[in-house]
């Protein structure tokens, strides 16, 4: 299937000289999370919603050009597999489509998910691929959500009332926070009844920002999640823990089909030195070999790297946030880490994965020993 078949042709764009306030207004109006930044018909990059709403920025005066993210482009003739790899490699939600240098469309994760059911033949359940996620309670503030999004490099945070999922806050909802630079008036009960107190928007409750969540049980077939992802940005999975399935999880499945070798992919390394790239490649190779000696049938390893504070030039120190995800016969394992030295962060995120796998492997071995011991006792009896 070619990109031209599924891409959006009427593309909403912004210019480098626009204010972030203007760009966010477009995102809110058209419910989109990224805008191609153009100069004439040439694409300069993308403006990503998450890069704006998770930071303390004066959106009235700050220009779009300070928050442009470089983006690879696709051709209308590219096949779908090529675009999936571009989306995963960039870590972005969408890829601009150009023809002879001119912007002619854009293809997003959601566009791919709409045709994913035709490309997948799987008996997996939602619990098989759901990723354990951070969440907040209904009594928490939206400022806590913002901190989680920034520190954990996530775009969605479920809201719970006890064990029940009552909503979710996404980056689109967080536009309200960016718009609320001025203080919002809120009434609260104090010792003197009816006293009005002012609170900054970051102290406002999450219920003022959340939207309804699509929720499934962990044993639901994956096809159910695909159906819900047609109209929702994510699906929350209740399976003891609270998990989440996003379009990117579906994309990873589409490229991690049966292969003779483990599918290993490191994304988000644009702009890094060859030494860092080589070091990360070596670290992931050693990790896969080590785990492979213990467990047969590793399916894939994804490591996504995000550079934070990488805007505006100058002497800003870059912080690295990494997310690693590995599919094994024991299940899916995910870890996060952050720090200032990319190779140290990589070692930490892979180390966390290894510890989780070892813990699960130990439980499996213990269960098998107990089962074998029980069979021996039965035989002797």
Q: Is the pLDDT of residue 273 over 50?
A: yes
Residues 24 and 92 in one domain: yes
What confidence score (pLDDT) does residue 169 get?
A: 96
What confidence score (pLDDT) does residue 326 get?
A: 87
Residues 76 and 134 in one domain: no
Residue 105 lies in a domain: yes
Structure tokens at 202: 């970051």
Q: What is each CA distance from 290 to 124, 220, 337, 362, in whole angstroms?
A: 26, 33, 20, 16
SS3 content of the chain, % helix, strand, coil (to 5): 40, 30, 30
Mean pLDDT over 304-310 rounds to 73
Listed range (27-31, 96-100, 187-191) with the worst mean pLDDT? 187-191
Mean pLDDT over 178-198 rounds to 44
Tell me how far apart the alpha carbons of residues 173 and 177 are, in angstroms, rounded to a whole number. 8
Q: Is the pLDDT of residue 95 over 90?
A: yes
Residues 108 and 154 in one domain: no
What confidence score (pLDDT) does residue 310 get?
A: 54
Determine what percent of the chain is predicted with pLDDT higher than 90: 41
Residues 15 and 96 in one domain: yes
Residue that is last in its domain, among 94, 119, 144: 119
- The pLDDT confidence band at residue 160, using thresholds 50, 70 and 90, is very high
Q: Is the pLDDT of residue 265 over 70?
A: yes
Residue that is last in its domain, among 228, 248, 269: 228
Please give the tally of structural domains in the chain: 3
Q: Is the pLDDT of residue 163 over 80?
A: yes
H/E element, 324: strand 319-328
Residue 312 lies in a domain: yes
List the CATH number of the domain containing 111: 3.10.580.10
The domain containing residue 157 runs over which residues?
126-228
Residues 202 and 273 in one domain: no
Tens digit of each residue's pLDDT (9 = 90 or more) over 328-364: 888 778 888 888 999 999 999 999 999 989 888 888 7
Residues 213 and 134 in one domain: yes
Tell me how far apart the alpha carbons of residues 163 and 256 are, in angstroms, rounded to a whole number. 33
Determine what percent of the chain is predicted with pLDDT higher than 70: 86
DSSP E strands in 109-145: the ranges are 131-132, 136-137
Distance of CA 292 to the CA centre of its chain: 26
- For the CA atoms of the chain, what is the radius of gyration? 23
Residue 164 lies in a domain: yes
Q: Pick the residue with more confidence: 115 or 117?
A: 115
Mean pLDDT over 225-254 rounds to 89
Residues 111 and 182 in one domain: no
In order, the DSSP letters of 14-79 are: EETTSBHHHHHHHHHHHT-SEEEEEETTEEEEEEEHHHHHTS---TTT-BGGGGEEP---B-TT-B
- The pLDDT confidence band at residue 321, using thresholds 50, 70 and 90, is confident
What confidence score (pLDDT) does residue 239 get?
A: 79
List the CATH number of the domain containing 306: 3.30.160.100
Residues 10 and 97 in one domain: yes
Listed range (151-165, 172-186, 233-247) with the worst mean pLDDT? 172-186
Structure tokens at 316: 């800003």
- The pLDDT confidence band at residue 313, using thresholds 50, 70 and 90, is very low
Residues 268 and 360 in one domain: yes
Q: Is the pLDDT of residue 9 over 50?
A: yes
What confidence score (pLDDT) does residue 196 get?
A: 38
Residues 298 and 315 in one domain: yes
Residue 239 lies in a domain: no
pLDDT averaged over the chain? 83
Global confidence as pTM: 0.73
Residue 247 lies in a domain: no
What confidence score (pLDDT) does residue 178 get?
A: 81
Q: Is the pLDDT of residue 191 over 70?
A: no
Residue 373 lies in a domain: no
What confidence score (pLDDT) does residue 35 get?
A: 95
Tell me how far apart the alpha carbons of residues 233 and 116 are, in angstroms, rounded to a whole number. 15
Mean pLDDT over 50-54 rounds to 89
Residues 93 and 138 in one domain: no
- Crossing angle of the two packed helices 342-380 and 274-294, in degrees rounded to 10: 0
Residue 135 lies in a domain: yes
Residue 235 lies in a domain: no
Q: Pick the residue with more confidence: 323 or 211?
A: 211
Residue that is last in its domain, among 87, 104, 119: 119
Q: Is the pLDDT of residue 194 over 70?
A: no
Contacts of 360 (CB under 8 A, 6+ apart): 330, 331, 333
Residues 222 and 131 in one domain: yes
Q: Is the pLDDT of residue 103 over 90?
A: yes
Q: Pick the residue with more confidence: 200 or 353?
A: 353
């Amino acid at each position: 299937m070619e990109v031209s078949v599924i891409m959006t042709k009427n593309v909403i764009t912004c210019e480098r000289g626009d204010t972030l306030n203007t760009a966010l207004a477009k995102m809110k109006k058209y419910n989109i999370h990224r805008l191609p930044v153009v100069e004439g018909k040439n694409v300069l990059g993308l403006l990503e919603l998450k890069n704006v709403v998770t930071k303390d920025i004066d959106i009235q005066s700050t220009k779009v050009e300070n928050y442009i993210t470089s983006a690879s482009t696709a051709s209308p003739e590219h096949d779908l597999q090529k675009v999936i790899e571009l989306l995963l490699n960039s870590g972005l939600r969408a890829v601009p489509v150009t023809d002879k240098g001119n912007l002619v469309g854009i293809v997003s994760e959601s566009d791919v998910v709409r045709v994913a059911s035709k490309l997948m033949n799987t008996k997996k359940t939602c619990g098989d691929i759901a990723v354990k996620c951070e969440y907040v309670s209904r009594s928490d503030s939206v400022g806590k959500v913002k901190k989680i999004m920034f520190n954990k490099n996530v775009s969605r945070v479920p809201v719970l009332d006890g064990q029940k999922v009552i909503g979710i806050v996404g980056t689109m909802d967080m536009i309200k926070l960016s718009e609320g630079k001025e203080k919002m008036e809120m009434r609260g009960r104090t010792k003197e009844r009816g006293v009005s107190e002012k609170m900054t928007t970051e102290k406002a409750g999450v219920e003022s920002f959340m939207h309804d969540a699509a929720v499934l049980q962990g044993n639901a077939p994956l096809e159910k999640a695909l159906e819900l992802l047609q109209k929702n940005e994510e699906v929350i999975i209740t399976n003891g823990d609270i998990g989440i399935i996003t379009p990117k999880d579906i994309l990873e499945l589409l490229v991690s089909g049966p292969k003779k070798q483990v599918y290993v992919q490191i994304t988000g390394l644009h702009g890094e030195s060859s030494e860092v790239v080589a070091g990360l490649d070596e670290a992931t190779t050693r990790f896969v070999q080590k785990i492979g000696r213990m467990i047969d049938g590793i399916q894939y390893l994804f490591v996504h790297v995000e550079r934070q504070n990488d805007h505006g030039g100058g002497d800003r120190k870059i912080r690295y946030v990494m997310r690693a995800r590995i599919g094994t016969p024991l299940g899916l394992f995910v870890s996060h880490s952050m720090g200032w030295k990319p190779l140290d962060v990589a070692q930490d995120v892979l180390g966390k994965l290894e510890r989780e796998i070892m813990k699960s492997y130990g439980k499996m071995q213990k269960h098998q020993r107990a089962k074998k011991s029980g069979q021996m006792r039965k035989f002797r009896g």
